[in-house]
Structure 1
Amino acid sequence: MNKKICSILLLAGTVMHYGQIVLNAPPTANTEVSDPQSIRLLPGFNFNSNSGTFRGYLGTSGNSGNNPYVPVVVDPSTNIANTENYIYTRQYLAPTTTSNASLPQIQGIQFFDGLGRPKQNVSIKSTPGGKDLVTVIPYDGFGRQVDSWLPVPMASQNGNIQSGVESTATAYYQSNGINDSFPFTHKNLENSPLDRVLNVKNPGADWQNKPVNFGYDANTVADGVRKFTTTTTWVEGATKSVLGENWLYSDGQLYKNTVTDEDGNKTIEFKNGQGQIIMVKKEDGSSTYYVYNEYDQLAFVVPPLASIRGDIVANTTKHDELCYQYRYDGRGRLVEKKLPGKGWEYMVYDKQDRLVASQDANLKAKGQWLYTKYDQFGRVAITGISTGSSRVTEQSLADLQGSNFVTRLSTPLFNRQGMDVYYGNPEGTYPKSPAWVTLLSLNYYDSYPGYGFSPAFPSSIQGVPTLTATPSSDGRSTNGLPLVSLVKNIEDDNWSKNYTYYDQKGRAIGGYSINHLGGYTKTESLLKFSGKPEYVLTSHKRTQNDAEINIKESFEYDHQERVVRHWHQVNGANKELLAENIYNDLGQLQAKNVGNTTGSPLQSVNYQYNIRGWMTKINEPGNLLNKLFAYELRYNNPNSQYSGTARYNGNISQAAWITQNDAVLRNYSYQYDGLNRLTEGRLWDAMNLDRGEYTESLTYDLNGNMGTLKRKGRQFPGYTAPENRDDLVYEYAGNRLTKVNDISQNPSGYPLGGKAFGYDDNGNMTMQEDKGLTIAYNYLNLPQSILSPQGNTSYLYSADGTKVKKTSGSKVVDYLTGFQYENNTLQFFPTSEGYFDFVKNKYIYNYTDHLGNVRLSYMNNGSGVEIIEESNYYPFGVKHEGYNILTGNAAYQYKYNGKELQETGMYDYGARMYMPDLGRWGVVDPLAEKSRRWSTYNYAYNNPVRFIDPDGMQAEDKIKIFNNGDIKRTVDSNPYDTITNEDESKSIKIARTNVTDTNPTGDSQIGTINTIPLKVPGIDEAPGGEQFTFFQIQNYDAATQFFEFASLNTDVEFRQELFSFSDGGSTNMITTNGMKNLVFGISDIFEKDYTFSAGHNVGNSTKTEMSHSHPDENPFWPSGYNNHGKDSNPTFTPGLPWYDRKSANATNNYVFSKYLHNLNGGGYIKYNTEKATYTKTKK
């Protein structure tokens, strides 16, 4: 008998006050209703089916918060089959001195085949419901790993190896809402000893016919690669190169590597025999050239707009407007550079090759330099502004100093700008004290200076003893830790004073920041054994005379240390549930209950993902129910009704949304060119379809400067077409915008235009006559004052670039560590889900999209949920007008990308102000050299639908290193990496190389040998577990930075290996097994078969250096040597305790010890099979 099954999807019902689905009327047949929180059936609900069949399901919510600790009872000596080779690890989440299976812990096991290759990774009972998360690692007949499988949840075997993993994974991804039977990446390799990758098919059925293809060839004359040359002379202690040209490269002179992404966009890279990039050609034929001088130093970068000019060699004006130019001293140090549209910049170094002074064009006009002074350990101690002469003169003065470090004093030596300085030896460092003009910052380490304004030192914080400068019985102290940072305001001589306090493990548990007004913000954290906070207390005053505000944030975790509840409390009031997180079996956020209490949240927010791990939905736009906002992103599956084009390379094809304000489903369809630049964002809505309202259409020049921008407004009643809001035509000198003509002549958009733009020598826009703006900048290129016909605005910054005050007319806004005041009255402070309106004493919650845009704000008005503001945006950030009329809180102006809208209509991103009506910045990118093929003023690579610019410096990758060694990208962008620890309390930035649009991560590659792939280009969302994880990067200094940061901020061992190749190239691999006492390298796992991202093979390389870390005190010397450097056993005894000594197989071997770092201020232990010696650096 055939049965027709009807699911229920609510189309009729009542929207209740809180985040609970309620049915009190008949829903439409053939529909489905689901919610992870609850569904309530009230009188009036009934169901009718033509077939007489109704099916309902009740299941667990999947809320891991209801089961905070899944018991893990595994003993490898009794439970795990002894027929397998394995490495079993456990990470305790509670203190213990003995092996204890009943304590909270994270467990994992990695199985190996008979050849020592990993074949399966199991994160034991790691899912919210206690299943194993399993990843299989297969090999082809040649022993190569060509298939990379996604992890799959399976019923736990208590640590034993799982069978049928591939078939289970296929079934899981087919049936769990993803509906895809290709849960793996497949690589086709070249049939040669090089094993070069020919193409990669990413997970997903739709990607099997859309691979990333790689081509390897040699150039021909038909490629038209111009052969630029240089003539270099020695001028004022530096190279000076003159650009020349010798026609074209002949056949076979260059390597030609082609990458074609899933959408058919090509990037062709040409390299010479030394591995130097000569030219990169893009899909549209635009080319960027890299020109080296006779000493193989990069002398010029010729961007696309310059490379098409036949006169670029002779036209020095175009050099200055469009090209990057570099000069070096006799030691190969970069000492002079010129960026497009900026004046020359100069650098001075000491004998240790540390940058001690820099000068841009604006400082040069004033005869000033920015200087940096270091202590004896190379840590930044003092920064400031000095007077000085030419670079040559300043370099000669710096060369007179030998060790060139300041010494720490117990009493102040002198006072500058109202601040005592506890550092000595000013005459033995560059610059000498008479040249000091302005002190900008002071940093203290090791011990707290004796300032009269210092807060009382806490002997304990929340009952936990704090570290002191006096060593404890086991040698622990604040030695080597940053303790105090003093930062002066730029525009006046008031200071911000920041103190940090640590527990006995060297973890920051307290902070005390005295603001420039005399008030403070104090934080105290109680940390769990694992280092995650149980709660954080914050106390704040604007000034000493104000009442204190007290905030408590507390956190609950599941058995894998995932946050399941985040509570918030202000001044002792009732606790507010900010978020209750519900995770799926893959560790992805499945749902989030927001606001009020656990039983009655204001909103239950649901999330969906595709097989690539890309977010596809926030709630359900086609079935809004009681949700206030729903949002959908479509990539490869556009809705044909809205004229979309399928995208497979990570670009977004369509974005749809709906809100409770008007319940109209709206949809943007996006079009791109071959460089992934947005060419159109066209709005459709369910009622009017293709009326063309709120559409943006764009063209660009070869550098990515906008050529034209057409922006449609709303269609007014009685009209047959939408308002032609803007029809802009841009004019440039190089990358500098000089004029904007508005053909629309509609003053409701951009002003009528046609007037001049002005710039200073640093490329900062100082005049925008269209709007009557005149802007003055400080030495950080931040706007100090803006004169406007609508009212003048002035800003006050601290020397690190933090905005602390804004004055606009009669309104004065103070920005104090997140607390925002207006005319001395506290308005609000941020929370993880929005902000707390201090005036109304209300929590305000924000729905944000994938870009961080604030789309809808709501609150509990006492009787239910009230929407207070809705904001929808054109792709480049102008807010829609005409239908989302709620204005919300006038004091809270954080909107597009979550940035604050200024009175000028610009958004403040931190390092720069963004102009959404023009779709560009007004200031040169401080990190322009990381994206040299792009205009120095372009926003988000002209793809604002996919990328954001976090701080105005550059769209960037954010990489998080977890305590268990997992490395994950959390934001996909381009060529700069921000590295954070697990709780994001610490971070560093490192540079990448060989970045292209189709390979935005360049040589910075993250991977796992258990083959959990990158689910989004540049994003690794693999859940935690015992896996072999690697981070590859070509730049040695950046690799060392990453290695040391990972070593100091995790609980597992890391290894850094430097591989050199016969063609002169090299690369670095940082690896971890997620274990405390053992780490493998890439050659240990694959011997000679692994292929690096640059195409080289492990078997054809030489390992010239190997460093690994020791996270614990015992041992902190290489195993095989005792803690005094003396051989502990001259007989070469086999066994793990002597593993370091036995495996010293590189030219140089080092141990980097976290414990040694805390004791001695950092350093390495160099060793071989005979001896071990402490060294400061790896030199």
Structure 2
Amino acid sequence: MQSVIQYADGLGRGLQTVQRMGSPLGYDVVTPNEYDQYGREVKKYLPYIPSGSTAGAYQASALTTGVSGFYSTPPSGVATNTAPYSVTGLEASPLGRPEEVGAPGTAWQLGGGHTVRMDYRLNNSITWASDSVNSRRVSLFHVIINSDNSRSLARYSNAVYPDNSLTVTVSKDENWVSGRAGTTEEYKDQEGHVVLKRSYNYKNAVVKLERLSTYYVYDDKGNLCYVLPPETNADEDIAITSQTISKLGYEYWYDALGRPYRKKLPGKGWDFMVYNALDQVAMVQDANQRAKMPQEWTFTKYDALGRVVITGIYQYGGSMPDTSLYTPSGAGQAWLQSYYDSPSLTAPNWETRDNSTTTGYNNASTPVGTGYTFLSITLYDDYSATSLAPAAYSAPYGASQSVRGLPTQQYTNVLGTGTMLTSVTYYDSDARPLKVYKQHYLGGVNNTGNYDAVSTTYDFTNAPTTVSRQHFTSANAGTPLHMVNVQYIYDHAGRKLKTWQQVYNSGTATPRTLISKSAYNEVGQLQDKWLHSTDSVNFYEQVTYTYNQRGWLKKQSSGLFEEELFYETGTNKAYNGNIMYQFWGTGAAPNTSYYTYLYDKLNRLTSGVRNDNSSIEQGITYDKQGNITALQRTLNSTLADNLTYVYGGGNQLQSVTDATSNNAGQKSGTTSFAGKYDPNGNLAADPGKGVTGIVYNLVNLPKTVTFSGSTINYTYDASGAKLRRVSTAGPGTTTEYIDGIQYTGNTTTIDFIQTEEGQAFREGASYNYEYFLADHLGNTRVMFDTKMGYARKVESADYLPFGMQVPGLVNSPSNKYLYNRKELQDELAQYDYGARFYDPVVARWTGIDPLAEKARRFSTFVYGNNNPIRFIDPDGMEAEEADNDDPHAEPTFSSGVRTFFAKVFHPIAALAIGPPTRGFSNISANSERFATRGASDDSGSVLAGGQEGAGTESNAFRHTLWQATIASQFGSDIAQSFGDAHENNPNADLSQRVFTGKNALDNADMHVDLLNNQIGRQIGTASSGQGMNAIAGKVLNQFANTGLWTATRQKDGSYTISMTKITSKQFKALQARFKQLNNNARTAAGQAKIDEENGKAQLQQAQAGHNPPVM
């Protein structure tokens, strides 16, 4: 049993967090806290392990000798570190804003020139042409709200913000040396709105300094209506045309209730939203759906608890469809919204269960009748709809019948067919999935005999200990064709130590195999991993990992592959996480090859050159959106590509020209893409590869690809899962995908089963385990098999920086899982990432980023932030650090320690978020004050529960506001990092609605916190840069119009959670209270008192001869 002890001082501030016996060797893990004389935690220490301590005792010497002693002579695998802490330097003012932020490690300490630095300025009206060093001129835009609630962008007489009306925060990362290149400026107005983010790059010797400005324009109600990325040239005194906004900008329209009812992303047609009477999104339509005749809408139906129960496609056959995709009239949307709003609409607002129907619901809410196709159906709370699931999907021993609030049966449409695939989930008494039956689509046939049954057991921390998968096909008449049993073994702190696997082939057992065994250093970093053993003693391969002082991966080495990464060491240095050199080698010649990388001031890759000049991507340039404009590629020491890209004023590639006569990469000559995109912005043809047409399905994934007289037909379900791939090229190939089981060319014999470390290929009645040795990006570099009794290398692969394979190295054409371990589509030379395809030849995605609104300053087609050596995109949705973020896996440490790591890796955000200490002015304290004012003041209570009441209205408001404000200032990812760290199990199943047992309230409270956090991040993302008072108003609107999640105790002692709306009386009372408060949740008088006290304290310090704190 793990326990965490938190020691606090008399003011309630944390002094130490001790995870008792939390280290791999069973010693305590201690994280000390230190405060300056003003109570600010400006020095944050890494956790350490006091020698011999196992009792969770307070470590009095932690700050004097404990941390420093541990890291000066650390245990095996831990980097020596004479500066195991991060320090924040604050400005000498009552505001105490950070001026310099360091990080753990000697190279990242204050004063060393390799910290994050901030400067604070005010805007001016100096023009860029007259003084590019001091110009902070900002264009002033307005939003006109038209009578139909549409929005128009306006700028009157080239207006600019008056001098000193905007605050400017200048940020410089660890690589910055001098000048404006490599800096980022954030401009905020007096209401706290971010109106501009401006970055600077050193372009070339002619242009020199380049401005990249992204403007955020709000209406009078504080709603974000326009985002104008850099290529719109909003800094200039020229009109921005509607065509430019359509190609590059983001547009948002809101209805009279403040609900977003239209939005438009760059290069994509409008998305429409229609709401029901409960302010729930009832219908959505994208541009591809609008292009169909009759037009389609995706509808959503809910139950009385606000849970999604049915989704589907509705065909609108009205007489007023929208005829234009990019400037639609909205007639169809207006008609549908008026239908939902009509007082004469008698249909109920939600579905109720009715097991006599084919859906399990009464199908009474809009839309009703015919003309629609179901995409998904979800049943909750019981298994009473027995007629809807096959009899074989029976309850296992130990299955609980107390499943109120849990999804039990699900039906998912196979897109393009009428087939609904069935899944049934049974739970244990702790609401954990015990057994899941899931129908598959083998052979493209809807047959109830085709299914998998997956049984799972857990330990008391809810980590899975065994997973048993039975794979049934209709040809085997109820007997599993294969069974895969996996066992996981963990240490006392939840770190995974071993993964065992055994495959049964038609009932015959193959040898039980230890897929991997792991060992960790004392701070929880993976140190060694052993691969493949049948006796748990002798292994075929061992991989050893080492890290630098920042926790970044430094080296991995094994007998067949070795890689070493250089950041701040070597001739060229980077201190911000960019990789300057990548050494690698295989077999008996380790690290004989290396790439040298160069970047521009925006951390975009400009050059990657192999040491023997055999493979190179260099001369890479970008436009203001981050679209590549030029790239030179060398393959086998020969110039293969000299590419020039043309975009035509948007992000969609219009043409690419290869000036060489070599067709090894991009086809030589000019390839035109003009007019080759569908209304949703997906690439609909690729003439350079001979692809004459690509048709996309509902979820913007390719359905049919036509090329050179052949086709590839993909089959997906409505969730976006790929089920089948049928290619007619050459002899033709059919591939079946069943959650990691893959068939190729037939439906009777499995080709291979994917494992954690590679794949198990079927060879007759046995399986040959093949293992992938990957680099830091997850790229398969070496594959070895085991059938010869040793680690025999069967594949070696190298890649150019943007992912194109180096020819002549791949020896095993059967393996398609290569770059980022994604499946190569041979005919297209593209990789399938799940949400979209990536083309490494032109280094671009083939479709728009589904999460484009999280990175509005970049082109929607940019891969890996144009830094593919540091960033990956795991599923095609969003770029993330490959290995250089938090090196400690979440299960390794407790919530308190995870909170520490969130602080270490996001120190600026951590300082602004702060603790909820009374009297402080940070995000945590301010959100608690807002909730406190709502819970109680001199005029009485408005929100129930007090600010600390678990699951209450006040707690819901506080959490939502807290996350919204963090997301507004620092982005959704950082907000989620802190929000998840606050909870014991951030990966909990959020579909659960009923909680029983002794921890019912705690579990219910955790679920409502996580759900409200999601709502908060959505509000914050749409309110970028706004002050807390304005955001509090939006949270209040959400609470009144749609609701927030709260927990309610039932008569039997259980707790249920649901969306709760505050009353009109509560709303008006809170609105009146909040109008009296500033962004710190203080009245004018209260703020004046605080300012007076701060001023006195500063004066006393000055008179005593003390300098303001800078630690």
Within the candidate set 892, 906, 909, 2:830 is matched to 906
C-alpha change, 1:354 and 1:1072, in structure 2 (3 Å) is: closer
2: CA distance between counterparts of 1:282 and 1:945? 22
Indicate if the aligned counterparts of 2:777 and 2:882 stay in contact, CA closer than 8 A: no
What secondary structure, in the 3-state scheme, does the structure 2 residue paired with 1:746 have? coil
Q: Is 1:557 the counterpart of 2:490 in the alignment?
A: yes
Contact 1:656 1:668 in 2 (8 A): yes
- In structure 1, the residue matched to 2:163 is 251
1:232–1:792 CA distance, 2 compared to 1 (3 A):
same
> In 2, Cα distance between the equivalents of 1:422 and 1:735?
45
Rounded to whole Å, the distance in 2 between the matches of 1:807 and 1:1033 is: 58
Work out whether residues 798 and 806 of structure 2, in 8 Å CA contact, stay in contact via their aligned partners in 1.
yes
1:763-842 map, 5 Å: 763-773=681-691, 774-789=693-708, 791-809=710-728, 810-824=732-746, 825-839=749-763, 841-842=767-768
Question: Hey, what does 1:172 align to over in structure 2?
Answer: 70
Residue 534 of structure 1 and its aligned partner are, at CA, apart by 2.1
1:439 aligned to which of 371, 374, 395: 374
Partner of 1:62: none
Secondary structure in 1 aligned to 2:222?
Answer: coil
Conserved? CA contact 1:357–1:369, under 8 Å = yes
Per the normalisation by structure 2, the TM-score is: 0.76
User: Structure 1 residues 699-708 or 828-837, which shifts more?
Assistant: 828-837
Aligned residue identity for 2:542: S
C-alpha separation between the residues in 2 aligned to 1:747 and 1:795? 28
Of 388, 392, 404, the residue aligned with 2:334 is 392
How far apart are the structure 2 equivalents of 1:486 and 1:711? 48
d(CA) in 1 for partners of 2:886, 2:709: 40
SS at match of 2:872: coil
- 2:192 counterpart residue number: 275
| Match for residue 539 of structure 1 among 462, 470, 478 | 470
Q: 2:623 aligns with which of 695, 701, 704?
A: 701
Matched, 1:129 2:129: no
- How far does residue 190 in structure 1 lie from its aligned partner after superposition? 2.2
1:313 aligns with 2:234: no
- Partner Cα separation in structure 2 for residue 205 and residue 226 of structure 1: 39
Report how far residue 358 of structure 1 moved.
1.1
- Asked if 2 retains the 8 angstrom alpha-carbon contact of 1:739 and 1:754, the reply is yes
Structure 2 match to 1:408: 352
Q: Which residue of 2 aligns with 1:348?
A: 274
Q: Does 1:186 align with 2:87?
A: yes
Looking at secondary structure, tell me which structure has more strand per residue.
1
2:15 is aligned to: 119
Preserved CA contact (<8 Å) 2:145 2:219: no
1:750 to 652, 655, 666: 666
Tell me, in whole angstroms, the C-alpha distance in 2 between the residues paired with 1:615 and 1:1015. 17
- Given that 2:579 and 2:597 are in contact with CA atoms closer than 8 Å, whether structure 1 keeps it comes out as yes
- Which residue in 1 is equivalent to 2:645? 730
In the alignment, which residue of structure 2 is the partner of 1:616? 554
> For residues 983 and 122 of structure 1, do their structure 2 counterparts lie closer, same or farther at Cα, with a shift above 3 Å needed?
closer
Task: Give the deviation of 1:259 after TM superposition.
Answer: 1.2
Q: Give the Å deviation of 1:310.
A: 4.3
**Which residue identity does 2:122 align to in structure 1?**
A
Bigger share in helix? 2
Give the corresponding residue for 1:569: 502
What are the within-5 Å matches in structure 2 for residues 955-1034 of structure 1? 955-956=879-880, 1011-1012=900-901
**In 1, distance between residues paired with 2:634 and 2:381?**
60
Please give the alpha-carbon distance, in whole angstroms, between the structure 2 residues aligned to 1:513 and 1:1061: 37
Aligned residue pairs total 910
Q: For residues 594 and 396 of structure 2, what CA distance do their matches in structure 1 show?
A: 55
Q: Distance in 1 between matches of 2:1061 and 2:240?
A: 52
Shift of 1:849: 1.9
CA separation of 1:110 and 1:695: change in aligned 2, threshold 3 A: same
* 2:496 is equivalent to residue 496 of structure 1: no
- Cα distance in 2 for residues equivalent to 1:958 and 1:329: 41
Distance in 2 (CA, whole Å) between partners of 1:1054 and 1:585 is: 40
Aligned-partner SS, 2:865 = helix
Cα deviation digits, residues 890-932 of structure 1 (max 9, x gap): 1x31111111100210111111111000000121112211111
**What is the identity, as a one-letter code, of the residue corresponding to 2:82?**
S
Whole-angstrom distance in 1 between the partners of 2:1060 and 2:768: 55
Query: Residues 452 and 383 of structure 1: is their aligned pair in 2 closer, same or farther, counting only changes over 3 Å?
Result: closer
Structure 1 residue 241 displacement after superposition: 4.6
| TM-superposition CA deviations, 1:1114-1154 (whole Å, max 9, x none) | 576799xxxxxxxxxxxxxxxxxxxxxxxxxx999997479
1:651 to 555, 563, 578: 578
Q: After superposition, give the CA deviation of every residue in 1:1009-1065 in whole Å (9 maximum; x if it has no partner).
A: 9855656569999xxxxx99x9979999xx9xxxxxxx99xxxx9983746999999
Indicate the residue corresponding to 2:863 in structure 1. 939
> Which SS does the other structure have where 2:247 is aligned?
helix
The alignment's TM-score, normalised by the length of structure 1, stands at 0.72
Offset of residue 538 of structure 1: 0.5
Q: Give 1:611 deviation, angstroms.
A: 1.5
Distance change (3 Å), C-alpha of 1:1059 and 1:1020: closer
CA distance in 2, matches of 1:1064, 1:738: 35
Q: Counterparts of 2:621 and 2:281 in 1: how far apart (Å)?
A: 41
Q: Aligned partners of 1:218 and 1:1010: how far apart in 2?
A: 34
Q: Percent identity?
A: 32
CA RMSD of aligned residues (A): 4.0
- Cα pair 1:1054 1:1071 within 8 Å, conserved: no
Is the contact made by 1:343 and 1:762 (CA closer than 8 Å) also made in structure 2? Answer: yes
State how far apart, in whole Å, the 1-side matches of 2:924 and 2:390 are. 44
Unaligned runs of 5+ in 1: 1-104, 414-419, 469-476, 715-721, 960-967, 973-979, 985-1005, 1022-1026, 1040-1046, 1078-1108, 1120-1145, 1168-1178
| 1:291 CA drift (Å) | 1.3
Q: Distance in 2 between matches of 1:1164 and 1:478?
A: 19
Residue type of the partner of 2:31? Answer: T
The residue number in structure 2 matching 1:629 is 561
* Change beyond 3 A, Cα 1:917–1:1008: same
Measure how far apart 1:235 and its partner are.
Answer: 5.0
- The alpha carbon displacement at 1:127 in A equals 1.6
Secondary structure (helix, strand or coil) at the match of 1:421 reads: coil
Aligned CA distance change for structure 1 residues 827 and 842 (closer, same or farther; 3 Å): same
Q: Any residues of structure 2 matched to 1:513-528 within 5 Å, and which?
A: 513-516=438-441, 517=445, 518=447, 519-528=450-459
Structure 2 residues not aligned, in runs of 5+ = 127-134, 177-181, 202-210, 322-331, 911-915, 932-949, 986-992, 1004-1034, 1063-1073, 1075-1111
Alignment of 1:94-109 (within 5 A): 105-109=1-5
Aligned to 1:1056: 959
Equivalent AA in structure 1 for residue 547 of structure 2: Y
- Counterpart of 1:863 in structure 2 is 789
Q: Deviations over 1:923-973 (max 9, x none)?
A: 1112211111111111111111111112112225899xxxxxxxx97699x
Distance 1:410 1:1157 in 2: 26
How far the C-alpha of 1:425 sits from its partner, in A, is: 4.2
Distance change >3 Å, CA 402–CA 559, structure 1 → 2 = farther
Code of the residue aligned with 1:628 in structure 2: it is L
CA contact (8 A) 1:231 1:244 kept: no
Query: Alpha carbons of 1:348 and 1:1034: their partners in 2 closer, same or farther (altered >3 Å)?
Result: farther
Structure 2 SS opposite 1:929: helix
- Alpha-carbon distance in 1 for matches of 2:957, 2:882: 20
